């Protein structure tokens, strides 16, 4: 009899049940899409944010020393401290290697020129490196994506150079011209525009800067572009003050600080730190995107609950005579509530399955249109979505079902309630 009552309710109130089912489907569908995007797209968003450029910098450990004796600063001059280029491939063997998008060593050299203060900056453009059996390409074209070149990029194994746009205009040299540097003619293959000090410099392959400085393998600093997660309270703690368990959790979380710490372990005699402005901006953007997704999800579920509440209230009002008759025949408040909650549960199940399917398609469409790749729907999300559908449906139906259970059968049968 119980199942028959539930079945007859759906058969005789198709329109009401359809409206409630659509409300649940839409709300759960949006929730599915937002949760799927939020759980899968973290790395995708982070990769998009890597267009901001490098977010970590590695310098010689000696540069962090600050020694004052008798009021005299004995800190070593920055030009005297270098890292070893031979240690750079080790970055691809470090713990967080899969989070490293690229790195670019830098070596500035004074080469005289106009006013005797012209700087040549040696770096990797798109350097091919081999570690074991793996080959990868890295350089400023990965870590400094805002660098724009009018002409061609130099080959890392050549002696060709780029001129900053301000320097090129000052010297009257265009792409395809030649420039004398350290007593030798070099082909200018492009004019570089960065909006930074490089606009007044010569930018060349790292090997050329090392030859001019007569320091093979010397590197002054390394810019690293890494996928990280926003900082929290744990990220800001000093690892030396942590116990073993907390330290493992900190070390195994892709915070900028933990990746920088791993870089220091990988590159001897180095000091690594995050470029604060970039890292903080990324954390802010990620937090705001996550907050926006949460807000959209809550709004969709609230709207769904309100729609279910309205549909259920109308359906119960239309069935007040039926409720009054059941109570007159001896049905308890629990029995009346159980019938309506069973109907709500069935609606939630149907709407949850339909919403999950629709939400999965919406999530994939968002992934392809914004990030150019599909969103992976985790299997564990399905029971979570069904649970959300149940909660939303029961929350929207509870008030109407409570009123139905308290109906006075006398007034209900007379059509006065």
Rg (CA), the chain: 33
On the question of pLDDT at 151 being above 90, the answer is: yes
Angle at 285 between CA 284 and CA 289, to 5 degrees: 120
Q: What is the model's pLDDT at position 11?
A: 61
pTM over 0.85: no
On the question of pLDDT at 165 being above 70, the answer is: yes
- Tell which residue, 201, 153, 157, has the closest CA to residue 181: 201
Model confidence pLDDT, tens digit, residues 312-332: 777 776 666 666 667 666 667
C-alpha 85/C-alpha 220 separation (Å) is 9
Q: What is the model's pLDDT at position 67?
A: 44
Cα–Cα distances in Å, from 230 out to 46, 86, 233, 284? 10, 31, 10, 8
> Average pLDDT for residues 107-112, to the nearest whole number?
88
Q: What is the DSSP string of 2-59?
A: HHHHHHHHHHH-HHHHHHHHHHHHHHHHHHHHHHHHHHHSHHHHHHHHGGG---EEEE
Q: What is the model's pLDDT at position 379?
A: 83
Q: What is the DSSP string of 188-250?
A: EEEEEE-SSGGGGSEEEEHHHHHHHHT-TTEESEEEEEE------TTTTS-GGGS-HHHHHHH
C-alpha 61/C-alpha 411 separation (Å) is 86
Q: SS3 of 118, please?
A: strand
Q: Which of 164-178, 266-280, 370-384 has the highest mean pLDDT?
A: 164-178
Q: What is the model's pLDDT at position 108?
A: 93
- Half-sphere exposure (Cβ direction) of 142: Cα atoms closer than 13 Å: 23
Q: What is the model's pLDDT at position 312?
A: 77
Model confidence pLDDT, tens digit, residues 348-393: 888 889 999 998 888 888 878 776 667 778 888 899 999 998 888 8
């Amino acid at each position: 009899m119980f199942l028959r009552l539930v079945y007859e309710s759906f058969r005789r109130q198709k329109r009401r049940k359809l409206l409630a089912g659509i409300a649940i489907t839409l709300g759960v569908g949006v929730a599915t899409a937002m949760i799927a995007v939020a759980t899968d797209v973290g790395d995708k968003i982070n990769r998009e944010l890597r267009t901001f450029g490098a977010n970590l910098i590695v310098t010689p450990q000696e540069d962090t020393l600050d020694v004052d004796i008798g009021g005299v600063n004995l800190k070593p001059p920055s030009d005297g401290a270098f890292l070893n280029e031979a240690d750079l491939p080790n970055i691809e063997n470090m713990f967080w290697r899969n989070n490293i998008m690229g790195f670019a060593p830098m070596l500035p050299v004074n080469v005289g020129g106009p006013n005797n203060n012209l700087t040549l900056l040696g770096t990797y453009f798109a350097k091919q490196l081999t570690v074991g059996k793996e080959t990868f390409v890295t350089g400023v074209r990965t870590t400094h994506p805002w660098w724009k070149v009018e002409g061609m990029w130099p080959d890392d194994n050549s002696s060709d150079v780029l001129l900053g746009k301000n320097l090129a205009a000052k010297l009257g040299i265009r792409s395809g011209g030649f420039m004398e540097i350290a007593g030798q003619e070099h082909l200018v293959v492009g004019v570089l525009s960065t909006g930074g000090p490089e606009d007044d410099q010569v930018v060349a392959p790292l090997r050329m800067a090392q030859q001019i400085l007569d320091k093979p393998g010397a590197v002054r600093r390394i810019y690293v572009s890494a996928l990280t997660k926003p900082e929290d309270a744990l990220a800001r703690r000093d690892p030396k003050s942590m116990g073993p368990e907390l330290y493992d959790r900190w070390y195994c979380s892709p915070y900028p600080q933990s990746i920088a710490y791993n870089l220091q372990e990988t590159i001897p005699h180095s000091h690594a730190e995050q470029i604060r402005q970039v890292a903080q901006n990324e954390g802010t953007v990620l937090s705001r995107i996550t907050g926006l997704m949460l807000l959209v999800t809550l709004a969709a579920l609230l709207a769904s609950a309100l729609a279910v509440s309205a549909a259920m209230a109308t359906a119960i009002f239309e069935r007040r005579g039926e409720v009054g008759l059941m109570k007159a025949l001896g049905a308890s408040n629990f029995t009346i509530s159980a019938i309506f909650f069973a109907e709500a549960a069935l609606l939630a199940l149907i709407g949850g399955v339909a919403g999950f399917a629709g939400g999965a398609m919406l999530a994939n469409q968002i992934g392809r249109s914004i990030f150019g790749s599909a969103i992976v729907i985790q299997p564990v999300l399905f029971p979570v979505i069904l649970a959300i559908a149940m909660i939303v449906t029961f929350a929207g139906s509870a008030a109407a079902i409570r009123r139905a259970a308290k109906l006075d059968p006398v007034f209900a049968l007379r059509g006065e309630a």
